[in-house]
Structure 1
Amino acid sequence: MEEKNQQAEAVNEEAVDTTNEDIIDSEESQNNDQLKEDQKTAEKDPVSELEQELEEIKNRMLRTQADYDNFRRRTREEKEAAAKYKALGMVEGLLPVIDNFERAMNLQTDEEQAKSLLQGVQMVYNQLIDALQKEGVEEINAKGEVFDPHLHQAVMQVQSEEYENNTVVEVLQKGYMLKDRVIRPAMVKVNTK
């Protein structure tokens, strides 16, 4: 019986040793799997980091490209505006000259020499107006028009039954526009009822 007990104990020890070996093998297998996963993760981390960095660089490049396109568009628009209004300074300087020409042409005289002088002044005035019109300068129509504060500057008010309310009755000084920009508003008298 003792022999049977010893055999049973030997079988139990063998089973325990086998179980311990299985547990150790299982733990080693798990450790190896974990190491492999860690290696894969470690391998993925640099790749994913590089992919993320590449994505950031692409985004920065797209933003830089958009900024550059906006800069080019603004520069082009500024150049177009500068070309469009290049005559602005010259026109502003010539408006008082035009006013003086008009005052000179309004003089009434009976002398033949004065009439020929006024005719010469009229010719110079016409040439000046033609040159300004070629640059895009236009006179602002005012008399009989509805008062527009963007185009007219009211300096006097009158009450008249001949005109509608808020209508320009008289132009005291002509106004001018360069293309679509008001250079000088027309100074006017406005009817108020």
Structure 2
Amino acid sequence: MRRIQVTETTENKDLVQEEKNVHAENEVEVGQETELTIEEQYEAKLAELQAKLDDEENRHLRLRADFDNIRRRSQLDREAAEKYRAQSLLSDLLPVIDNFERALQVEATSEETASIVKGIEMVYRSLIEATEKEGLQIIKAEGEQFDPNVHQAVMQEQDSEKETGVVLRELQKGYMLKDRVLRPTMVSVNE
């Protein structure tokens, strides 16, 4: 009986040794996997941080571009506000100018009336000079080709001597402030 036990013990030793070898090999493989995993984790973390950095750089560039656009837009708004600062006042003065022009069309029948017309004319000229300094300009209409950007057609007439689409009469003066139309000219256009 003893002999059998020795054999079993030898077999057991071989089995134990074999298990140790397999376990050691597994540990080496697991160790290598752990090392690769750490390297992979490092590279993944590095890639993640690089992506975040790229996103932040893009965000920074977009914010800077937005800031530049806002600054440029506000500069243009300030320039436009300065350029057209008198627009509201001049728009309010247009009916006054119209009334002065109507008053100047009255014929002076007496010396008193002539003196009043002369005073009205002086005030009218001063008003026109002041508005011209601010950039108010009369829109030319009569004899010009009809332009819907600056003319408002309220009538059509027929004149065979003139081309089609030509302004025949100016019914109410139109005005521009620099490059903006304050009031279009009311006109009668040739058919």
TM-score range relative to shorter protein: 0.7 to 0.9
Match of 1:103 in 2: 102
Q: TM-score normalised to the size of structure 1?
A: 0.82
Asked if structure 1 preserves the Cα contact closer than 8 Å seen for 2:172 and 2:187, the reply is yes
Equivalents in 2 of 1:87, 1:189: separation in Å? 30
For the residues of structure 1 that align with 2:99 and 2:179, how far apart are their CA atoms? 25
**Alignment partner of 1:63: what SS?**
helix
Gapped regions of structure 1 (runs ≥ 5): 1-12
Q: Distance in 1 between matches of 2:108 and 2:169?
A: 25
Q: How far is 1:20 from its partner?
A: 8.1
Aligned match of 1:61 = 60
TM-score by length of 2: 0.83
Report the equivalent of 2:145. Answer: 146
Alignment of 1:92-171 (within 5 A): 92-171=91-170
Q: Residue type of the partner of 2:66?
A: D
Equivalent-residue separation in structure 1 for 2:83 and 2:103 (angstroms): 32
Q: Give the distance between the partners of 2:129 and 2:173, measured in 1 at CA.
A: 16
Contact 2:169 2:188 in 1 (8 A): yes
Correspondence list, 1:42-53, <5 A = 42-53=41-52
Instruction: Name the SS for the 1:64 alignment partner.
Output: helix
Show CA shifts across 1:37-82 (max 9, x none).
1121223333332222222211211111122112112212222222
**Count of residue correspondences:** 180
Q: Distance in 1 between matches of 2:42 and 2:153?
A: 80
Uncovered stretches (5+) of structure 2, i.e. residues with no partner:
1-12
Q: What is the distance in 1 between the residues matched to 2:108 and 2:130?
A: 28
Structure 2 letter corresponding to 1:113:
E
User: Is the Cα–Cα contact under 8 Å of residues 108 and 117 in structure 2 kept in the other structure?
Assistant: no
How many angstroms does 1:110 deviate by? 3.1
Deviation per residue, 1:152-174 (Å, 9 max, x gap)? 11112111123221111111110
Q: CA deviation at 1:116?
A: 2.0
Structure-1 residue corresponding to 2:9: none
Whichever residue aligns with residue 133 of structure 2, its letter is K
**Secondary structure of 1:52's partner?**
helix
Query: What residue is the counterpart of 1:88 in the other structure?
Result: 87
Equivalent residue, structure 2, for 1:33: 32
Share of identical aligned residues, percent?
A: 44
The CA distance in 1 between the partners of 2:188 and 2:52, in whole Å, is 70
Matched, 1:178 2:156: no
**2:187 aligned residue:** 188
Secondary structure of the residue aligned to 2:163 is coil
Return the letter of the residue paired with 2:30. Answer: N
